[in-house]
Chains A and B, each alone.
Chain A
Amino acid sequence: MQITGKQSTIAEVIAAANQIILGKETQIRLALACLLARGHLLIEDLPGVGKTTLAHTLARLLGLQFSRIQFTSDMLPADVIGISIFDRERSDFRFLPGALFSQVLLADEINRATPKTQSALLEAMEERQVTTDGQTRPLPEPFFVIATQNPSSQIGTFPLPESQLDRFLLRLELGYPNHNAERALLEGGGRREQLPTLAACFTPDQLVPLQRQAAAVHVSPALLDYVQTLIAATRNSPQFIHGLSPRAALALLAAARAWAFIDGRNMVLPEDVQAVLPGVACHRLRLVNSSSHARSEDIANLIHAIPVD
């Protein structure tokens, strides 16, 4: 039942990340699962809870190249994608890649950007390539976007529309650290300083086969039954404005596979689906009565209403 080989390295990554971001193992695992499922991650939380640190830590541990864009309302698509400037020596336009051309992109406060800039980023995320000046440029592989956003109640934000949110495989909330974790943080000082000392556990070449293995984790008909029942339940529930899309169902399955893979199993269990479901579903479901997104309690209620076998 155990998958040998790269499994121990994944465990190492999780252990090392735990040393930096204290008391957030579930979120670290989910972030890693999102990466293994070749999906993009959205972290929605208040400033200062460690969003950037998480992104940075993952990038370093996985041996990936990392860049960061701070979105503002006056940002233009070219700031993200890059710009062609005229090289006088060569009498030609030269493309200067933007921050997008990196393996891990931290898109900070994505909801502060105008919809135009947001769309530019999200197009790139979906297509994994950028077309400027009639030329298509592939993005690096792996390519992983961690976007953060502040809760939409804050002023000066342009909330992402549903269609855009759907591009993110998972949405996480980091939340405040618990008492012990915070004490350890306060005693140990800022975590950013420790980042440069982290050694990479992987080379980028190793990551791609892992993603392929994660995608090959066995899914039985019984589990598909369960997933379909869950999806159907979101569609039939009077709680949500509309249910999960087929793309969401695919995302759910991919995330569950990656979660099972991290757990060292070669088959997906209902537990895996349940573990990733809040991350996959919350930002895709909108509540009828409060016009906000579904909370994890709603998803827990949904899970509890569906028998597994």
Chain B
Amino acid sequence: MTPALKPWPFMASTKAPQPLEHGAIPWLLAVALVTAAPHASHLPLWLTLFVGGALLWRSWLWRQQARLPARWLLMLVVFAGVAGIGWEFRTLFGRDAGVALIVFFMALKPMEMRTRRDSMVVVMLGFFLLLTHYFYLQSIPTGLWLLAATTLLTATLIRLYGGAQPLGAIVHYAGLLLAQALPFMLIIFLLFPRVTGPLWGLPQDAYSGLTGLSDRMSPGSLNKLIQSGAIAFRVQFAGELPPKSNLYWRGPVFDDYDGMTWRALPRGDRAGSPPVVEARGKTYSYVSTLEAHNQRWLLALDLPTRQPEGSVLARSLETLSREPVRSRARYAFTSAPDFIANRQESPALLQQALRLPPRLNPRSRELAASWRATFNSPQQISDAALRLFRQEAFFYTLQPPLLGEHAVDDFLFATRRGFCEHYASAYVVLMRAADIPARVVAGYQGGEINPIDGYLTVRQSDAHAWAEIWLADRGWVRVDPTAAVAPSRIEEGIEAALPADDPLPALVRIDTDWLRDLRNRWEAANNSWNQWVLGYNPQRQRELLSRLGLDEPDWRSMTSALAMLCAIALLFVTVWTFWQRTTTTPAQRAWQRFCTRIKRLGITRADWEGPLAFAARVAREQPQLAALCHEAASIFADLHYGNGTPEQLQQLKNCTRRLPSSWRHTS
């Protein structure tokens, strides 16, 4: 059964090249298709169409047994294609252009596939192209697709060197080979010395397209984010959860307002003493698995009393990492939802928190001035603003009307429709106009418990903006004007707060229970994948190794352990293979499997019983099995005692498959 492997083609370079079998070509075209297809989602359309067309044309040439295109024509196409890619990406290097080039060559190589050596190039290119998928996606479906593609590539190698065989036999053999590689894969995954950060530098353009909060906020910037069901981060609390109304995850803090856009201050402008946070009441410990968003804030629960290593609590109370978060990472925090922060604040910062663009929003300033005249404490002024939102006809919607130059005036006195960023922005402008230091905080609010794995899932659709005012005795105090307009946004989540016809991603607004359950399960599976496969970092590796008794392993001992384990596994496989080879033949194993299946149906073959005698006994005891059993026994007799053919081995295996399953038979 084992296909006789011939020496590799390039070892026999002095001999004439071996022509490629006609029957092997579909396999190679399938390899090209399977390895290139997932890249279609990010390649330029013309390239995708070219690849599809080229493969279709090659298939047609194969069917017609027609001649391959001339070499000069191919050269022309290559130059045109490379020029096109260079023009499209403005470079031939980097991730996107490089992958596009490989895909392009993958489509063209079959056009000059004449010898077996050419086909080897296609297979090797296929293996390489598979790796590049991980530049874009490392999800479970990608992993499964790559596994299937690897099986196809291995099967193609078997087909190339083993000649024509039944499809099932080839796939089975490929699966067997991969299964044998599995222990090595596990050993290498677990023990290969891990380094912090990627092993080699990823191309510069690898981080484009990461979504998340931005370092500025203008009307309409958040609602794009809100329409995404993508996960921002997942949180696992050590104990119980804080109440939902306290789940404010702090992102960027915006101090600077130009009448339209809120911006965070440049870091140098926030000099001064470090922040002082006094926790009051209960604290919560949790681990947050943050998706990459290419920004530095870590989205801690307001307000953290303990930050993870490698991060700082900025003066503006945001938790910032040293580098932008460019890969999914786990961070451990302790937070106190009830806090007093920065009772002492630098005058410069307070001054900044009062600054408003001059000559804008006169009606709002007027209103604030009237409040300042009426009320004598900042708290009362804030309450007046919230009362305004609550009592007047303000609506919470993701589709607000456009605002003019005096954006806050327009919103407060004309349109009165908006969502969190409008309310937060208007509130802060009113407070600043009333001489109360105030600023806008962006982040996420809420989250949803996945009942499958108990993780709190926070999505982009949970993005939120709220306000903070500074009171002399209490420091920075969170005020959420949205809560005044749409309390259900805070209590229940965005889907409850919005009118039913507002656009929201289907993943966020799910009414059907089973669909929600399905989504929860899928996300829990993804989370485990992230935590245990993608999140298997140096620290996790150390934990695992110390559990195995290797304390504080350095890379040398890890490498030698890796080599030793691989050697042991290899030895085991070798011994097993030799044992298999010397004691039993494939025919015997197939017959033993058949007999095992018959045993489940109630008849046990005695050790000393020959095949035909056994078949005769089966025929007496279970006449309905007589024909099949006699067939199998005769085939085995031919294979083992006569001159059987490889096809007969397949027939014997088919007999095993045709046996009724035991449950159908017990009655």
Contact = CB atoms under 8 A, between A and B. Distances in A.
Question: Do these two chains really belong together in a complex?
Answer: yes
B607 A308 contact: yes
Interface string A289-306: 000000000000001111
Nearest to A218: B642
B649 to A, nearest CB: 15
Contacts, number: 51
SS of B interface (majority):
helix
B40 interface: no
Nearest to A268: B641
B610 A220 contact: no
Interface string B585-609: 0001001000000000000001111
B588 A220 contact: no
Nearest to B642: A267
Nearest to A222: B640
A303 B643 CA distance: 25
B185 interface: no
B599 to A, nearest CB: 15
Contacts of B638: 1, 267
Contacts of A274: 608, 610, 613
Interface string A263-279: 00111111100100000
B609 A309 contact: no
A200 interface: no
B643 A218 contact: yes
B643 A309 contact: no
Contacts of A306: 607-608
Interface residues of B, number: 17
Interface of B: 588, 591, 606-613, 634, 637-638, 640-643
B640 A220 contact: yes
21 contacts: A1-B637, A1-B638, A218-B643, A220-B642, A222-B640, A222-B641, A266-B642, A267-B641, A269-B611, A269-B612, A269-B637, A269-B641, A270-B608, A270-B610, A271-B611, A274-B610, A306-B607, A308-B607, A308-B609, A308-B610, A309-B588
Q: Which of B591, B609, B634 neighbours the largest number of chain A CB atoms within 10 Å of its CB?
A: B609
B137 to A, nearest CB: 50
A308 B637 CA distance: 12
A271 B610 CA distance: 5
Q: Which of B608, B638, B643 neighbours the largest number of chain A CB atoms within 10 Å of its CB?
A: B608
Nearest to A309: B588
Interface of A: 1, 218, 220, 222-223, 265-271, 274, 303-309
A25 to B, nearest CB: 15
A309 B607 CA distance: 8
Contact of A271 (B607, B613, B642, B643): B613
A308 B612 contact: no
A308 B608 contact: yes
A266 B43 CA distance: 64
A1 B637 CA distance: 10
Contact of A220 (B606, B634, B641): B641
A239 B634 CA distance: 35
B598 to A, nearest CB: 15
A267 B637 contact: yes
Contacts of A218: 641-643
A266 B642 CA distance: 8
A270 B610 CA distance: 5
Given A1-B638, A1-B642, A223-B641, A269 B608 contact: no
A70 B643 CA distance: 48
A306 B641 CA distance: 17
Contacts of B607: 306-308
Nearest to B606: A304
B644 to A, nearest CB: 10
Given A222-B640, A309-B640, A269 B610 contact: yes
Given A1-B637, A267-B637, A308-B610, 15 more contacts: A1-B638, A220-B640, A222-B640, A222-B641, A266-B642, A267-B643, A270-B610, A271-B610, A271-B612, A274-B608, A274-B610, A303-B608, A308-B607, A308-B609, A309-B640
